[in-house]
Structure 1
Amino acid sequence: MRRKVFTSRVLERKVVLITGGCAGIGRALAVRMAQAGARLVIFDLDQVALDSLVQHLADHHNAQALGLRCDVSDREAVQQAMTLVIERYGGIDVLVNNAGITHRSRVADTSLTVFQRIMAVNFYGALHCTQAALPSLLARGGQIIVLSSLSQYAPVPDRAAYNASKHALHGLFETLRGELQGSDVNVMLVCPGYTATDLRKNVLVGDGSTAPQPVLTLGRVASPQDVAEAIYRGALRRRKLLVLSNLDWRAQLLARCFPRLYQSLLLPRLLGSRAR
């Protein structure tokens, strides 16, 4: 995608909260929102990275930003952080549920604690943040952006917990969208494909330990900046669903409509790409 930096500050004074915002798509999106004039709130677990990003946004984008160390899987911690944000800024206009972790291990070799941890961050983290922010979003006619995955359409082998968490997000937020009909709150689900982030450096394996993993090389690997630009544009248009596929439409069609062909034609390529 050709990136185009808009000079208009269409989000001037809007408050945008991004979870897991210190790296990858989250960081790129924080920069893109700052360029549009937003006031940023970043939730992350790495205080050093938070301080560095806040300073970067101030120095390079003249952006007001608040970095808060917050574990989104901890409901009480999320509620306390959200209360502080609302006291500081008066409310939230855009909530970006970006925080997430992944794993690589077969179902038979994956401990229950790994499934629980993946769901705690990827699913319950988004639920905690959304419930805490929802009164403010309703009052301000805001927007919820949820980072899902292309695995919603074409499941990737050895990531059952991750795939399940993304399917659960769709169930939750598509239901919420229906419940919010008649309000001014928009819900946008975003499904990126393979993206060059640091997520692979701390991948959970079956016993719950972490180990760096090779990049899956099937299809084009997108940059976080390109994904952030697409999300930004989608948010301006208040899209409902944004599928950023670098596995072409045929892979999605096979997985959805012809699962046997998907398993026989595409899965061997996915399995082979794990070794690279």
Structure 2
Amino acid sequence: MYRKVFANKVFDRKVVLISGGCAGIGRALAVRLAQAGARLVILDLQQAALDSLVQHLADHHNAEALGLCCDVADAEAVQCAIALAIERFGGIDVLVNNAGITHRSSFVDTELAVFQRVMAVNYFGALHCTQAALPSLIERSGQIIVLSSLSGFAPLLYRSAYNASKHALHGLFETLRYELKGSGVNVMLVCPGFTATDLRKNALVGDGSVAAQPPLAMGKVASPQDVADAIYLAALKRRRLLVLSNVDWRARLLARFFPRLFERVLLPRLSGMKPQGTSHG
């Protein structure tokens, strides 16, 4: 179905680079921007998935796209990938730092390597991409979009490494926004709530192995397409912060101003647990 949102020409022929773009929010956003006329550069780990997505964008959306196999945790690989993207398309107008991994394990049971890997992808991956793309973004008065999380303002149990990486993203990119003032580059942090992606299928556990996690008891879950639509509209307006949480304003209020009540009432539910003291009968 044709949507009015796609008639906007802001992203027509613009070059958009999306890390972790083969699945979930990244893929949905690639499709959304392709429909808006953008030229896409997709970074991901599996060449077969990249080839399939590039073909899909060409066949169904008449979009020009380049898929590059790249681990964003590898600074040198990122530099090479972005150099190839600039060589192919002439520059980068929008950088979407979307690549991420998660884990589910208590702090005491989580090995150091898990913290290092989560930070390497979620934090340093965004840093590497931004450093490599920034000269082109400044030259073209572009935009940086960073996928953060609900955990940016509300902690989640058994995700200490993940939560820490998202807080680090806010510290980095809020600072960068101030430093780029007057450059023409916009920085937008996006904080989705629970979204139906494959992130949990590849979740790490405490010893660093991968173990798919059972669904959380967390209520309504957003679709990647709905999240991508919202990011697209916010990018048109060059917003600074987009909070897309299916945890309503009362939860955010409790987390910030009444933390003890939040810990007792909402934190267990948001973390996929039943609150202590809940009666069954």
Per the alignment, residue 277 of structure 2 pairs with none
- Aligned ranges 1:195-274 → 2 under 5 Å: 195-273=195-273
**In terms of mean alpha carbon deviation, does 10-19 or 212-221 score higher?**
212-221
**In terms of mean alpha carbon deviation, does 107-116 or 250-259 score higher?**
250-259
Q: What SS does structure 2 have at the residue aligned with 1:105?
A: coil
Q: Given the alignment of the two structures, is residue 42 of structure 1 paired with residue 42 of structure 2, yes or no?
A: yes
Per the alignment, residue 137 of structure 1 pairs with 137
Structure 2 gaps of 5+ residues are 275-281
In 2, Cα distance between equivalents of 1:171 and 1:271: 24
In 2, Cα distance between equivalents of 1:238 and 1:113: 37
How much has 1:218 moved relative to structure 2? Answer: 1.5
Per the alignment, residue 120 of structure 1 pairs with 120
- How many residue pairs were aligned? 273
- RMSD across aligned positions (CA): 1.4
- Aligned ranges 1:99-114 → 2 under 5 Å: 99-114=99-114
Per the alignment, residue 170 of structure 1 pairs with 170
Per the alignment, residue 98 of structure 1 pairs with 98
Per the alignment, residue 26 of structure 2 pairs with 26
Letter in 2 for 1:117: R
Per the alignment, residue 88 of structure 1 pairs with 88
Per the alignment, residue 58 of structure 1 pairs with 58
Letter in 2 for 1:114: V
8 A contact 2:155–2:267 mirrored in 1: no
Residue by residue over 1:144-169, the C-alpha shift from the partner in whole angstroms, topping out at 9 and shown as x without a partner, is 00000011111110000000000000
In 1, Cα distance between equivalents of 2:236 and 2:268: 39
Q: What SS does structure 1 have at the residue aligned with 2:41?
A: strand
- Aligned ranges 1:174-185 → 2 under 5 Å: 174-185=174-185
Letter in 1 for 2:63: A
How much has 1:219 moved relative to structure 2? Answer: 3.0
Q: What SS does structure 2 have at the residue aligned with 1:211?
A: coil
- Evaluate the alpha carbon distance shift between residue 271 and residue 57 of structure 1 in structure 2; reply closer, same or farther with a 3 A threshold: closer
Per the alignment, residue 79 of structure 2 pairs with 79
Residue by residue over 1:224-269, the C-alpha shift from the partner in whole angstroms, topping out at 9 and shown as x without a partner, is 0000000000000000000001001111111111111111111232
In 2, Cα distance between equivalents of 1:158 and 1:8: 42
How much has 1:202 moved relative to structure 2? Answer: 0.8
In 2, Cα distance between equivalents of 1:108 and 1:260: 22
Residue by residue over 1:160-185, the C-alpha shift from the partner in whole angstroms, topping out at 9 and shown as x without a partner, is 00000000000000000000011100
Residue by residue over 1:27-73, the C-alpha shift from the partner in whole angstroms, topping out at 9 and shown as x without a partner, is 00000000000000000001110000000000000000000000000
- Evaluate the alpha carbon distance shift between residue 70 and residue 177 of structure 1 in structure 2; reply closer, same or farther with a 3 A threshold: same
In 1, Cα distance between equivalents of 2:48 and 2:272: 37
In 1, Cα distance between equivalents of 2:259 and 2:163: 16
Structure 1 consecutive aligned stretches of length 4 or more whose deviation exceeds 6 Å:
none
Per the alignment, residue 159 of structure 1 pairs with 159
8 A contact 1:11–1:37 mirrored in 2: yes
Relative to the length of structure 1, the TM-score reads: 0.96
Q: What SS does structure 1 have at the residue aligned with 2:42?
A: strand
8 A contact 1:106–1:206 mirrored in 2: yes
Q: What SS does structure 2 have at the residue aligned with 1:68?
A: strand
In 1, Cα distance between equivalents of 2:247 and 2:58: 37
Percent of paired sites with the same residue: 77
Relative to the length of structure 2, the TM-score reads: 0.94
Letter in 1 for 2:124: Y
- Evaluate the alpha carbon distance shift between residue 271 and residue 229 of structure 1 in structure 2; reply closer, same or farther with a 3 A threshold: closer
8 A contact 1:194–1:216 mirrored in 2: no
How much has 1:5 moved relative to structure 2? Answer: 4.7
Q: What SS does structure 1 have at the residue aligned with 2:27?
A: helix
In 1, Cα distance between equivalents of 2:70 and 2:226: 27
